[in-house]
């Protein structure tokens, strides 16, 4: 199959040579984005599933898919209250039935009253259902112990990555002699970097310290900033807390240092906080950048510009397919805020995602009919993941050549794998990154689908793997068993 765009046409010039008359002009910014390493692995995983259906003999009966931060894909069940509200919104006749709790009916009825035509199938108001925006505002106030933020500073979107892309479009200049740069953590979720590069921005890497549990170190931020000035104009600092993929939860002191750094260097702060409700260590607490900024007082609280992102697509609800997120803007220049309104008004967030955000921001409370079941389900889910984190840490650190820092929060484990020289050589012969080679072999021989660390960035000469920890206990045990068997054989083969 030709690799050229389908709209490319050809004709002969006066000399008889064939020349391209393509109407495609692919942006150099898009061309600069490297192909994703996990796509061929994902395609192969799909092929293997089909082969198993057709009766092809494999050393395993099914593919275990823990490659994505998608808990329902991995087997976790959605929360009942979310699905009941969604069901009633999609099929309003249920509001007249006796099969749903009264608070479910009240929530669904209230949301439908703010949908045009009283239907989930209509476009919502821009930039979203007013009730949901108000619930988000109240949620932020409860979380941070302060007054509710202004509704006009909250923008609902089709997930946190869409919101990040919109904010980056206001910050980044990708043309001319001087391009805009954003300090970006390494490792980092790949779509965040892709969003920046697609706009022509420069990703300025700062490396999280694996030796210190993936901490953000100030000396590394200063190093990255000085290097950036040679190739771009740094305009923003992107932080992920809890980390994706390494799972570190930033401490309050560290957040204060970052805010001072952003203030001194005049950088816009981009705080990706989508896993704020996913903390698994009892002596660690999530604290938002918004709260710390407010507590620091003037001049920081009045001047540091901040965008804080959250999501129902990721986060604790794990409703990945519904696509719902928001961003709160703090201290943004009013002149720029007008353009933010324009950017976010380009399209509506999916209504189903907005319904999920309503539950995220305003879950059942003590005294509500749905509260007992909601509380039981969330407690059980937290207990399962906490047990998984302990088990993953124990098993991974028992394997030769594998080390995993404590996973304090988030959705992933990101262990380091010391690969033997013969394995590095074999990967080179096959034209693969070493950790991609490891993941391909793991899939083929054990049926376990994970992603390689090179996808997210890592220090040169180090190799990692990433897998989702938000999965049922039996799935994790099956996966770990396959990983242990494969890793032992792999290390023996290439030692």
The 10s digit of each residue's pLDDT in 239-296 is 999 999 999 999 999 999 999 999 999 999 999 999 999 999 999 999 999 999 999 9
Mean pLDDT, range 398-410, rounded to an integer: 97
Cα gap 126→156, rounded to integer Å: 9
Q: Are 294 and 300 in contact (CB under 8 A)?
A: no
SS3 call for 390: helix
- Sign, Cα dihedral of 223, 188, 437, 476: positive
Residue 320 in tokens: 């990945």
Provide, rounded to the nearest whole percent, the portion of the chain with pLDDT above 90: 79
Which DSSP letter does residue 215 get? B
Q: Would you say residue 4 has pLDDT above 50?
A: no
How far CA 271 is from CA of 164, 183, 184, 344, 481, in Å, comes to 10, 12, 11, 18, 36
For the cut 60, the answer to whether the pLDDT of residue 3 exceeds it is no
Mean pLDDT of 429-441: 97
More confident residue, 30 or 385: 385
* Percentage of the chain modeled with pLDDT above 70: 92
Tell whether the torsion through CA atoms of 207, 211, 216 and 218 is positive or negative.
negative
Q: Which residues of 480-489 are buried (b: 16+ CB within 10 A; e: fewer)?
A: bebbbebbee
Q: DSSP string covering 40-104, please?
A: HHHHHHHHHHHHHHTT---SSSS-EE-SSS-HHHHTPPPPHHHHHHHHHHHSGGGGGSSSS-HHH
What pLDDT, in 10s, does the model give residues 49-64? Answer: 999 999 999 999 999 9
In this prediction, residue 1 carries a pLDDT of: 38
Domain ranges of the chain: 31-76+374-494, 110-361
d(CA 68, CA 54): 25
Tens-place pLDDT, residues 107-138: 999 999 999 899 999 988 877 888 999 999 99
Q: Please, what CATH class does the domain formed by 110-361 belong to? A: alpha beta
In this predicted structure, the answer to whether residue 23 has a pLDDT above a threshold of 90 is no
What does the DSSP 8-state code read for residue 372? H
For residue 5, pLDDT over 90 is answered with no
pTM of the model: 0.92
- Rounded distance, CA 368 to CA 131, Å? 19
Torsion sign over Cα 212, 213, 218, 221: positive
Four-way CATH pick for 31-76+374-494: 2.40.10.340, 3.40.50.620, 3.40.1160.10, 3.90.1150.10:
3.90.1150.10
H or E, element range at 181: strand 180-186
* Helix, strand, or coil (residue 140): helix
Whether pLDDT at 80 is above 80? yes
- Reference 454, options 3, 35, 43, 18; nearest CA is 35
């Amino acid at each position: 199959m030709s690799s050229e765009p389908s709209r490319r046409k050809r004709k002969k010039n006066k000399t008889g040579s064939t020349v391209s008359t393509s109407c495609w002009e692919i942006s150099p910014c898009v061309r600069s984005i490297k192909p994703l390493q996990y796509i061929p692995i994902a395609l192969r995983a799909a092929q293997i599933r089909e082969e198993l259906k057709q009766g092809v003999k494999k050393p395993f009966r099914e593919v275990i898919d823990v490659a994505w931060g998608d808990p329902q894909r991995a087997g976790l069940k959605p929360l009942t209250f979310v699905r009941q509200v969604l069901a009633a919104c999609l099929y309003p006749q249920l509001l007249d039935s006796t099969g749903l709790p009264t608070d479910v009916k009240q929530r669904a009825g209230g949301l439908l009253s703010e949908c045009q035509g009283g239907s989930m199938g209509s476009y919502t108001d821009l930039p979203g259902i007013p009730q949901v925006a108000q619930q988000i505002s109240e949620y932020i106030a409860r979380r941070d112990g302060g007054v509710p933020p202004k509704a006009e500073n909250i923008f609902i979107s089709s997930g946190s990555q869409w919101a990040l892309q919109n904010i980056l479009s206001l910050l980044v200049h990708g043309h001319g002699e001087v391009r805009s740069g954003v300090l970006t953590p390494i490792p980092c979720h790949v779509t965040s970097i892709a969003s920046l590069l697609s706009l022509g921005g420069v990703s300025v890497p700062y490396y999280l310290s694996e030796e210190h549990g993936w901490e953000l170190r100030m000396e590394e931020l200063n190093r990255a900033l000085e290097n950036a000035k040679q190739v771009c104009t740094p305009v923003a600092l992107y932080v992920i807390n809890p980390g994706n993929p390494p799972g570190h939860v930033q401490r309050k002191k560290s957040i204060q240092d970052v805010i001072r750094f952003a203030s001194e260097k005049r950088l816009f702060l981009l705080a990706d906080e989508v896993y704020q409700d996913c903390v698994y260590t009892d002596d660690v607490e999530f604290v938002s950048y918004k709260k710390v900024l407010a507590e620091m007082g003037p001049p920081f609280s009045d001047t540091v510009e901040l965008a804080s992102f959250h999501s129902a697509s990721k986060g604790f609800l794990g409703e990945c397919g519904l696509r719902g997120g928001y961003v709160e803007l703090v201290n943004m220049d009013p002149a720029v805020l007008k353009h933010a309104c324009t950017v976010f008004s380009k399209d509506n967030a999916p209504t189903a995602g907005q319904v999920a955000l309503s539950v995220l921001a305003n879950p059942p409370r003590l005294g509500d009919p749905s509260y007992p079941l909601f509380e039981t389900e969330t407690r059980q889910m937290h207990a399962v993941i906490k047990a998984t984190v302990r088990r993953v840490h124990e098993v991974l650190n028992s394997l030769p050549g594998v080390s995993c820092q404590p996973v304090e929060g988030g959705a992933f484990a990101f262990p380091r794998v010391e690969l033997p020289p013969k394995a590095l050589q074999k990967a080179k012969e096959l034209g693969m990154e070493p950790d991609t080679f490891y993941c391909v072999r793991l899939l083929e021989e054990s049926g376990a689908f994970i992603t390689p660390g090179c996808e997210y960035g890592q220090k040169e000469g180090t190799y990692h793997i990433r897998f989702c920890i938000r999965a049922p206990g039996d799935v994790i045990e099956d996966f770990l068993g396959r990983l242990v068997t494969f890793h032992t054989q792999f290390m023996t083969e290439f030692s």
